[in-house]
Structure formats: C-alpha cells, structure tokens
Structure 1
Amino acid sequence: MILFVEDDEVIRTSVAMALERYGYRVDVAEDGLTGLERFRRGGYDLLLLDVMLPGLDGIGLCRRIRETSLDPILMLSARGDSLDVVSGLEAGADDYVTKPVDTPVLVARIRSLLRRATFASTARADDPPQTGDRLVFGDVTIDPAALEVRRGGVHVSLAPTELRLLLEFAAHPGVVLNRRTLLRNVWDYGWDGDSRVVDLCVQRLRKKIGSERIETVRGFGYKLRR
C-alpha cells in the first residue's frame, strides 16, 4: 500500500490511477497533517510525498515520519529545484522524482525502493548470528546474514537504502566507488541519476557509523576505510 500526499487534486487523482493500473494499492491525502494522521494508522509500504503541501509541507512531513519509521520515502518536486531536492533528501527521503510525473520513471523508482525495503526486511531474529561472517571496521560490526549493524556494540538503525549503501561499501573495503557505480548497485538506476542522492545518503550514513569510517576521494567517489 502506498500513501500519496498531494494537494493538487488533478495530480493526486491521475497519479493514483496510474499507479493502480500497475497493480499498486494507493491511499491519498490532500495535505501534510492529514498525511501524518494516515501514516500513524500504519500499514503502508511506501510514502510518496509532494514537497509543497498546505499545513505541514512535505519536508516537515518527511522529518516527522523519520522520527519513528524507516519506511521508504519518495519525494515529488515541482521543478527539480535544488533546494527542494536537497532539503527532502536531508530530511531522510530515499529518492525523488520531478513534476510533471513520468509514470514509467515513477514506477521504476517505486519498484527500486520496495526491493530495497524487502531486502532489508529479510533478516530473521530467530537466526543465530554467524560470528565468522561478521565484518569489522573499527568499532563498526556488520552481520550481512542477519542484516544487522552495530557501533561500539550498540545496534544502529539504518533505513533500507542506508543499509544497502553500507553493504556495498563493505563488499569492497578500501576500494573507491564512484557515484555512478553506487547509483547502479544501490539505487538500481539503469541510467545516470542525480548524484546528490548518493552524497546526502553518505552524509546520513556517516552520522550513524562515524564520519571517519567513509572517506571522500575527491574527484572519484567514496571508500570504506578498512
């Protein structure tokens, strides 16, 4: 189930109908506060939020959702405005699309986010951890089998995209990964995407596992320090 929060009735109706033709169930809300109320009722697999909303805008709504949830969030930006895009990604959104909405692109982004969320939810609490399979980088320990990350022995809560990004780095320790590679392997982009989604997701990940753990190699990309 997708929660789509959009104040423009024409866009709200047309996008919802288009997504339903692709087999998705869609619940809609016309403003941020209503969207927050619907979200709190639970049961959604993905949140699709317009940036410009009355009452509580999409950026504020995204922040409120991220206080309690790691559900995938996709933002809609009217013009691809840099400030809107960056603000949404900094607030915790996983990705964004611009208006006017290209339905195949929107569906591709939704499918990618849902795949990441499904991947992250496959960890089962009843599976005993395999110590030999754990990856250790300083005070950060990654258990790829259980999809668990700890820092200094304390569990680190990562959104699905953040977890995929960390696992991609951990699979290539000490290797510089450029943004195009990360967009392809983490975001499932089959085309060149906006590298800002990579940069801002790296920023969020650094806050959780330590800023010194992921090194910027200027002009090339990022690498996970051994």
Structure 2
Amino acid sequence: MAQNSAAAGPGHPATDGAGRRALVVEDEVPLATLLASYLERAGFDVTVTHDGTEAVRTCREVDPDVVVLDLGLPGLDGIEVCRQVRTFSDAYVVMLTARSEEVDTLIGLSVGADDYLTKPFSPRELMARIQAMLRRPRAPQPGRLDDGVMPDTSREFGPLTVDPVGRDVWLDGEPVALTRTEFDLLTTLSGRPQMAFSRAQLIEAVWGAAWVGDEHLVDVHIGHLRRKLGDDAARPRFIRTVRGVGYRMGTGHP
C-alpha cells in the first residue's frame, strides 16, 4: 500500500527537491524507507509503495517528478511498471536492479527509464543522479545564440519539427511522444546541427557533468529515439552516427 512520507524536518533544508514530488517503488521495506528519508531531506514530498500494480495507480494519483523504481517487484515487475507509467507520465525514472547483466539494463532503458543503478549502491549516489537530472537546462536561454546554437524557435529538419520552448516534436504533422531524456537529447543535437557530439558531450549536456556511469547509456536512448522517429540507422534522416565520435543531427533526408 502507498504511504505518504512527512516533509523534511528541522535541520534538513530543502535543496533541489523543494516543491517536487517523488515516488519510491521498492519492495525491500528498509531500503524504501532509507531512500525516502534521503529524498525528504532534499525537500521532496515522498510517496512510497512496495507493489508494482499499486505503483502505477499511485503514479497517476500523485503525478511525481521523479520515480525511483525497483526492477524486481511483486505484482508487476519494474519493466512493466515503467512501460505503463510512460503512457501517461514524463517523470524522470531511475531504475534499481540487483541484476548486473547488461540485457536487464537495456530492457529497462528501452521502455523509458532515464537512468539506472545496480544494487548495492550509495543513496548519496542516487541523490546526486536525481539532482543532476533536475538541474538539466530544459531549453536554450531566450535570445541566446552562443557557440552556434540555433535560436529558441521551432527547428525544422525535413518532416521533423522540434520546438525547444514548447517541448513539442512533430513528424509529418503528427505529435511524437518523447520522454524527457529523449527530448533533451534531440534538443541538444538539433541545437547545433553541424556539430558531431561525442557520447561524453551528450552525457554532460543531458545527464549533467556530475553523472557517473557507462556512456553507452547514450546509445540506448538514441536507439529508442530513432524508433520513435521511424529513423533507420542504416539510412538515417534525423540522427546520424559519426563513426569514432558519436552522433549529429541529420537534415531530415536520407
């Protein structure tokens, strides 16, 4: 059953989480309690649930900004919870897994998780990851064209339109539903369409300079973004692979 945690008490000033909501979905009660306490100290309004089916219902009710989601859950597992949550929420999702096999990580990210941590992990590392995500710049600052960044108006690449301010994407006139991370990647690439970004540069731009982990996380999200855009990696229109470097924006034509 879901439970609401109290706000951070005296001596624990709110930081990046002030005014934000977090949902912790973890069936190990002591770990869930520990994570909730860290989030509370950061200023989050925290809700905890220990069951996958309950997690989806609770996510609809509380509309969290961040979801900390365990992979192995009773009811629905974390993969299915993430899949369902992504149909109605663009909350940041951090997946927790006790399995180190890469396939589990890739499956989790393919349904829309923004990041992952393998147990055991430090709650401080989790908080650093979450706070780095929340500090991401969501769009270029109005009027700034520094370093060749395109203006903060709609950007067109053939049939693809990216609106960095309204956070909208259209393909052939139809809206495309992207997660926050997918949108941030597309905004970064489309902001400097002539630039070939390395994975490290994309990590810094989207996940933040404090992020620590496998840079191939970028490849997983690029693959998911390509699928949503109907982009063929062999003949890409929108996201081109630059061999030995990383990725750059395409023109919208093969």
Residue 217 of structure 1 aligns with which residue? 242
Q: Does residue 142 of the first structure (1) align with residue 162 of the second (2)?
A: yes
SS at match of 2:39: helix
Q: Which runs of 5+ in 1 are unaligned?
A: 121-130
What is the CA deviation profile of residues 38-89 of structure 1, one whole-angstrom value per residue up to 9, with x for unaligned ones? 1122331111100111121111110111122222111011244312211110
Q: Distance between the aligned counterparts of 2:76 and 2:187, measured in 1? A: 34
TM-score computed with the length of structure 1 as normaliser: 0.87
In the TM superposition, residue 101 of structure 1 has moved relative to its aligned partner by 2.6
1:11-160 superposed matches below 5 A: 11-116=31-136, 119=138, 133-160=153-180
The C-alpha deviation readout for 1:67-123, integer Å capped at 9, x for no partner, is 22222111011244312211110111011122223122111211233334x837xxx
Amino acid at match of 2:239: I
Partner of 1:175: 195
Q: How far does residue 28 in structure 1 lie from its aligned partner after superposition?
A: 0.7
Give the total of aligned pairs: 216
- The percentage of counterpart residues that share the same residue type is 40
Read off the aligned partner of 2:104 and give its amino acid letter. D
Q: Which runs of 4+ in 1 moved over 3 A?
A: none
Structure 1 residue 134 displacement after superposition:
2.6
Which residue of 1 is the match for residue 204 of structure 2? 184
Mapped contact 2:32–2:48 kept (Cα < 8 A): yes
Q: Which has the higher helix share?
A: 1
Give the partner amino acid of 1:207: R
Q: In the TM superposition, what is the alpha-carbon distance from 1:218 to its structure 2 partner? A: 2.8
Alpha-carbon distance in 2 for matches of 1:209, 1:4: 31
- 8 A contact 1:73–1:95 mirrored in 2: yes
| C-alpha contact (below 8 Å) 2:129/2:210 kept by paired residues | no
Unaligned 5+ segments in structure 2 are 1-20, 140-150
Cα RMSD between the aligned structures? 2.2
Task: Write out per-residue CA displacement over residues 12-61 of structure 1, whole angstroms, 9 at most, x where no aligned residue.
Answer: 11111122222222111111112122112233111110011112111111
